[in-house]
Amino acid sequence: MDKTEINKKRISSHKNTASGAAEQSLECPDASGDSRKFYIQTFGCQMNVHDSEILAGFLEDLGFQEAAGVEETDILILNTCAIRQKAEEKVFGMIGKLKKMKRENPQLIIGVCGCMAQQEGTAKRIKSRHPHVDLIFGTHNLHRFPHLLKEAEESRETVLDIWPEGKEVVEGLPISRKEGIKAWVTITYGCNNFCSYCVVPYVRGREQSREMSNIVKEVKDLVLKGYKEVTLLGQNVNSYGKDLDNGITFARLLEKLEGIEGLGRIRYMTSHPRDFTRELTRVIYHSEKVCEHFHLPIQSGSNNILKKMNRSYTREHYLEVVSFIRELIPEASITTDFIVGFPGETHEDFLDTLDILERVRFDTSYSFIYSPRKGTMAADMPGQIPLKEKKERLNWLNEIQNSISREINETLRGKSVEVLVEGFSREKPSVLTGRTRTNKLVNFPGKEEMIGKIIPVKIIDVKTWSLNGEVLEA
Ligand code: 5AD
Ligand code: SF4
């Protein structure tokens, strides 16, 4: 977008007030000389976290500063998630609570965006039931945020702007990243898979890849700023490039990024097991920078359920992918996502899921209770499972997973691992924290100057979710 369109100095507006009478000019800084503040509450996945970095980038360009807490903000944005019912309930709970805040401070601007807002029905519901919300916009028009914000400040009505689909990929948006070591870099937007349980294709649109040259430029700029690790983001990174018609694949992109001097590590998420090829595994094997962590969401171990989920692979195919990864990269960590209680999931189907868990022995898995999403195929399927049964299955699965995670971590005791040091632990300020190439969290005593460096650490104690270590002299 044309950044000159953005009024960087000042947003002047007729403020929404309870009486509608007062008018005020929103200046940045305001009349007292202080910068006006913004607060973004992000729900959901890394895509949303990264979108919030863009919103923060816009607001900082406009002269706003991040508020320390919601109480002291002038602009409050809820960047929402629609993946499960619970996520939506949390947002509605929060919107409800904000009514009082808006009454006490009518100058406050409240915005709701992200995947929930992209759903037309939900957006209209927010608008009609929660008139204290000033601005509602979706996922396809994030780049118009400064204009929408200005409109919201000038209008006495709630501004609602939802685009049914994305147009071309918009480059050059400002991004305000919080930490200086690891960065998220989007490589594809949207998803074409239409897994029958999933709302993402409806709220994020069809797959669109960024041009490789733009991704490479962004990563080079990050390295110049001192970043050591990038995580390439997409709903299905393996299909990167398919829509570009220039022969560039995800494997080629990784090879290209490998050549960037000063970059320490490359990660990516998420992969689709159907599209994870031997060729890609070979590229990762030959790469020094791409980490040996494979997050391959399986969702279910039952072929019957996989078919109903429209996942387009079988458990046999999945096991083959795991086997060629482990053949070439024995130290690889493999993690996954499971959904339990999908419609029609029988006890036997669930036992197949436990079976695949035990066969693969995932380092970690993220398991979710199936949540019906309006508009998806699965929401209307027969055989919805009662919540009590879903919870029992989830607990059973988690118990087995936890003991496997612990056993795998136990094999690292006494070993040396390479850790990218991220900073001091929040709980214990003298303890540093970082991740191994296989994405395991390691805590160890150390000095501030180690932050941002990749250092060898010896594992001296293990837990289910993390490892404790001590620094080895390099
Ligand atoms: N219910 C429960 N879990 C879901 N996921 C996606 N949609 C649903 C749903 N409707 C899970 C999948 C996916 C992860 C990001 O969220 O496991 O991999
Ligand atoms: Fe959803 Fe399936 Fe696309 Fe992942 S691949 S975002 S689960 S539709």
pLDDT 10s digits, 12-40: 333 333 333 333 334 566 656 668 999 99
- Give the pLDDT of residue 23: 34
Q: How far is the CA of 209 from the centre of ligand 1 (A)?
A: 23
Cis amide leading into 273 (omega within 30) = no
Structural contact between residues 203 and 121, judged by C-beta atoms closer than 8 angstroms: no
CATH superfamily to which 3-161 belongs: Methylthiotransferase, N-terminal domain (3.40.50.12160)
Span 439-454, average pLDDT: 96
- Give the pLDDT of residue 31: 56
| pLDDT greater than 50 at residue 430 | yes
Cα 387 to Cα 65, 89, 370, 390, distances in angstroms: 43, 16, 9, 5
> Nearest ligand, CA of residue 297?
1
pTM score over 0.85: yes
Name the DSSP class of 170: P
Measured CA to CA, the distance from residue 460 to residue 435 in angstroms comes to 15
For the chain, the maximum distance between any two Cα atoms, rounded to a whole number of angstroms, is 71
| pLDDT greater than 90 at residue 428 | no
Among the listed residues 254, 181, 257, 270, the one whose alpha carbon sits nearest the alpha carbon of residue 218: 257
> Nearest ligand, CA of residue 193?
2
Ligand 1 within 6 A of 197 CB? yes
Ligand 1 within 6 A of 339 CB? yes
Instruction: Give the DSSP H or E segment for 399.
Output: helix 387-410
Other residues' Cβ atoms within 10 Å of the Cβ of residue 231: 17
Name the DSSP class of 51: H
> Nearest ligand, CA of residue 378?
1
Q: How far is the CA of 368 from the centre of ligand 1 (A)?
A: 6
Q: How far is the CA of 82 from the centre of ligand 2 (A)?
A: 13
DSSP 441-455: EEEEE--GGGTT-EE
Among the listed residues 473, 464, 470, the one whose alpha carbon sits nearest the alpha carbon of residue 362: 464
Q: Any residues with Cβ below 6 Å from ligand 2, and which?
A: 191, 193-195, 198, 200-201, 235-236, 272
Cα 434 to Cα 46, 160, 233, 418, 457, distances in angstroms: 18, 42, 20, 9, 10
Q: How far is the CA of 339 from the centre of ligand 1 (A)?
A: 6
* Confidence band of 427 (pLDDT split at 50, 70, 90): confident
State the average pLDDT for the chain: 92
Residue nearest to atom 14 of ligand 1 (CA): 337
Instruction: Give the DSSP H or E segment for 42.
Output: strand 37-42
Instruction: Give the ligand 2 atom nearest the CA of 270.
Output: 4
Per DSSP, the three-state class of 75 is: strand
Q: Which two tokens stand for residue 252?
A: 């080629």
Q: What is the pLDDT of residues 242-285, one digit of tens each?
A: 999 899 999 999 999 999 999 999 999 999 999 999 999 999 99
Structural contact between residues 327 and 284, judged by C-beta atoms closer than 8 angstroms: no
- Give the pLDDT of residue 32: 61
Measured CA to CA, the distance from residue 276 to residue 305 in angstroms comes to 20
Q: What distance lies between CA 176 and its chain's CA centroid? A: 16
Domain 416-471, second-level architecture: Beta Barrel (2.40)
- The domain ranges of the chain are 3-161, 177-291, 416-471
Other residues' Cβ atoms within 10 Å of the Cβ of residue 409: 20
Residue with tokens 């189907």: 349
- Give the pLDDT of residue 156: 87
> Nearest ligand, CA of residue 311?
2
Measured CA to CA, the distance from residue 297 to residue 311 in angstroms comes to 10
Other residues' Cβ atoms within 10 Å of the Cβ of residue 383: 10
Burial 162-184 (b: 16+ CB within 10 A, else e): beeebeeebeebbbbbeeebbbb
Span 146-166, average pLDDT: 94
Which of 45, 49, 84, 235 has most ligand 1 atoms within 8 Å of its beta carbon, as the pocket-test mutant? 84
Instruction: Give the DSSP H or E segment for 467.
Output: strand 466-471
- Give the pLDDT of residue 149: 97
- Give the pLDDT of residue 228: 97
* Confidence band of 179 (pLDDT split at 50, 70, 90): confident
Q: How far is the CA of 310 from the centre of ligand 2 (A)?
A: 10
Rg (CA), the chain: 24
The CATH T-level fold of domain 177-291 is Transcription Regulator spoIIAA (3.30.750)
Which of 203, 236, 240 has most ligand 2 atoms within 8 Å of its beta carbon, as the pocket-test mutant? 236
> Nearest ligand, CA of residue 366?
1
Among the listed residues 11, 8, 89, 91, the one whose alpha carbon sits nearest the alpha carbon of residue 48: 91
Ligand 1 within 6 A of 210 CB? no
Among the listed residues 268, 327, 271, 333, the one whose alpha carbon sits nearest the alpha carbon of residue 298: 271
Q: What is the pLDDT of residues 366-423, one digit of tens each?
A: 999 999 999 999 999 999 999 999 999 999 999 999 999 999 999 999 999 999 999 9
Other residues' Cβ atoms within 10 Å of the Cβ of residue 284: 23
- Give the pLDDT of residue 474: 58
Ligand 1 within 6 A of 370 CB? yes
- Give the pLDDT of residue 166: 86
Among the listed residues 441, 454, 450, the one whose alpha carbon sits nearest the alpha carbon of residue 423: 450
Instruction: Give the DSSP H or E segment for 347.
Output: helix 347-360
Q: How far is the CA of 98 from the centre of ligand 1 (A)?
A: 28
Non-local CB neighbours of 333 within 8 Å, separated by 6+ positions: 292, 293, 294, 363, 364, 408, 438, 439, 440
Measured CA to CA, the distance from residue 424 to residue 37 in angstroms comes to 27
Residue nearest to atom 17 of ligand 1 (CA): 337
> Nearest ligand, CA of residue 381?
1
Residue nearest to atom 2 of ligand 1 (CA): 370
Structural contact between residues 73 and 208, judged by C-beta atoms closer than 8 angstroms: no
Q: How far is the CA of 200 from the centre of ligand 2 (A)?
A: 6
Instruction: Give the ligand 1 atom nearest the CA of 373.
Output: 10
* Confidence band of 178 (pLDDT split at 50, 70, 90): confident
